Amino acid sequence: MVDGLASQHHVVIFDNRGVDGSGGVTPNSVGEMTDDAATFIDTFGFTKVNLLGFSLDGCVAQALVLQRPELVERLILAGTAPQAVAQT
C-alpha cells in the first residue's frame, strides 16, 4: 500500500513509541498516542496532512481530527471502529 501511495504522494510513516524501530515506552492509551502523533506532525513542521489510520491507528487518527482538526486535510480510515474514539 505504501509504495502505491508513494508513487503519487510524499509519504511519512509514524511508529508509536516502543513499536518497531521507535524507542521509548509504549503509550497506555489512545489519548497518549494522539498526543504523540500531534507532536510528530508539529515537530516536522507539517501544517496540513492527509492522514491514513489502520486498526488501532485509525482510532488515533479519529482522535487527532477531533483534538487538532486544523492539522488534517483528509482522513482515510481502514479496519477501525468509530466507537473506539470514545475510549480516549
Reply yes or no on whether the pLDDT at 85 is more than 80: no
The strand pairing partners of 78, in sequence order, are 54
CATH number at residue 13: 3.40.50.1820
What is each CA distance from 71 to 3, 6, 23, 24, 34, in whole angstroms? 24, 20, 25, 25, 12
Confidence of residue 57 (pLDDT cuts 50, 70, 90): very high
Tens-place pLDDT, residues 6-52: 999 999 998 888 888 788 888 999 999 999 999 999 999 999 999 99
- pTM, whole model, 2 decimals? 0.86
Domain that holds residue 17: 2-87
Number of domains in the chain: 1
Residue 31 is which amino acid? G
Task: Compute CA distances 18 → 28, 32, 53, 74, 76, whole Å.
Answer: 11, 13, 18, 27, 24
- Whether residue 77 is predicted with pLDDT greater than 90 in this model: the reply is yes
